[in-house]
Structure formats: C-alpha cells, structure tokens
Amino acid sequence: MSVIASSLKVALVQSDIHWCHVTQNLVNLDALLTLDESIDLLVLPETFATGFAINLDVAEPEEGPIFTWMKCTAARLNAVVAGSVLVQQADKKANRFYWVWPNGHYEFYDKRHLFCLGNEGAHVVAGTQRKIFTVNGFKILPQVCYDLRFPVFQRSLNDYDVMINVANWPAARRYAWDQLLIARAIENQCYVLACNRIGDDGNGVAHSGGTAAYDYLGQPICQVKDDNQGVCVVTLKHDKLAQFRERFPAHLDADAFTLNI
C-alpha cells in the first residue's frame, strides 16, 4: 500500500468572542496570532467575528469585510485560514465555513444541521452539500457545531483523513462535545480538529472551550486550557494514519449507504 508521507501543521484558536463587535474580535485575533513558527492551516471558531448572533443584523455580503480579513491573514501567514462567518442569503443567512488559501482562492461549506432549540432555522438557510477540502495531501471534512450530533452525515466513505468542527458549543453541554469528538475520531478512523469559543455570549450563554486535536484512536494530542484564550499547534502525520488504517481496516466492514441531502 502506498502512502502520502506528508504532514500538516495546524493552529487551533480558542477565543473569547465579543458580541457583535467585529473590529474588536479581529483585533483580538490578530493579537493571538503572533505565531513563532510556520503553519499550513489556521482554524477559528464558529462565527468568530460576531458571535452566534443569528437573529441580529450582523451578516455580511459574500466576500465581505470578515472574509477580507481572512484573505489578508491567509496571505500574511502563508497558510489556509478556516472558520465560519454569517453571510447574507436573501432574507436569511448562511452559517458559512470559509476555507481561504494564501493566494486568495477559497471554497466554502454551509452548515447543514440547524439548531432547532436556538431557532437557527428561522434565520439561517441549511447547507445542501457535503464538502471535502484538500491541503498537503490531507482530505478534510468541514463541519460546524451542531453537525457533530449527526454521525451519518459525517460517516467516512473512505474519502477523508481529518474532520474539522468549529463551534459555539455551550458549557452546559460540554461533556457531549468532548465525547462526540472522540467518538467521531474512533468510528471514522480519522484525525479530529475542534475549535470552540470561551466566555458568555450576548444571550448569557456560557462557553468553556474544549478546543483540541484528537488522533484516529480518539486520544487527545493537543488541547487549549479551559476558559482561556489560546492557540494550540499540532502536526498531523499522514503516513501514521495510513499505516493504522492498513493494520486495522475496520472501514472494509462498514455498511454501504447513500446520503440524501
């Protein structure tokens, strides 16, 4: 079996998001992103520049100011920058996971599963496509927050190596966050990268973090301290993942299915 002997260095950001203050949030992120080493990929939390203010007038046009900051940051760091932004779509918004390359090229995934308890569907349009992005030979499945609870949508068809979930996941359900991330890594035999925020949002909902990287065994390999802003840098090894899958090829016994979205 041939393997891609490549690595992927990722920086995972855990930040306190100031409610609806775009400029303040971007200045805060710039202060956090004083990295002393080169990276390939930077991952930011869900709605990192506004908070989860889905019912307020905070959505930007496509390729708006927040997106422009992502482009500039990608060019400055010479790395892919990923994170979610509320983008205006007719009378609703998309919770859009942008994937921005240093050269300005970009792709995106719109959050598929909308949080009914938070009435997200009244303000946000659901995504209609499952996407796979690629960098340094790694195939990556982007997911946003509530998507984590729906394993069929995330089930690997032997088509990705890394799952990324960016979130505003409340502290009250933190145990579920930690356990589901571990489960997704084990059942899909993949690396899992998770970015969550800290602090209280404008609705008084507390967030404790849980930003971490997990290997294909579900073991944590990088974590940011709870209730603290910080950046965790981790290097993923493609050859180690491929060797594990070859030694323990559970995917060969997986049930065949078709996902209708």
Q: Which active-site residues does the annotation give?
A: 46, 111, 145
| Sheet (strand 41-43) strand order | 106-110, 92-100, 80-89, 41-43, 7-14, 230-237
**Strand 191-196, strand 162-167: pairing:** parallel
Least Cα distance to 181 among 208, 145, 153, 156 occurs for 145
Q: Which stretches within the chain are classed as H helix?
A: 22-32, 65-77, 151-154, 174-188, 238-247
Residue 258: which residues within 8 A CB-CB, separation 6 or more? none
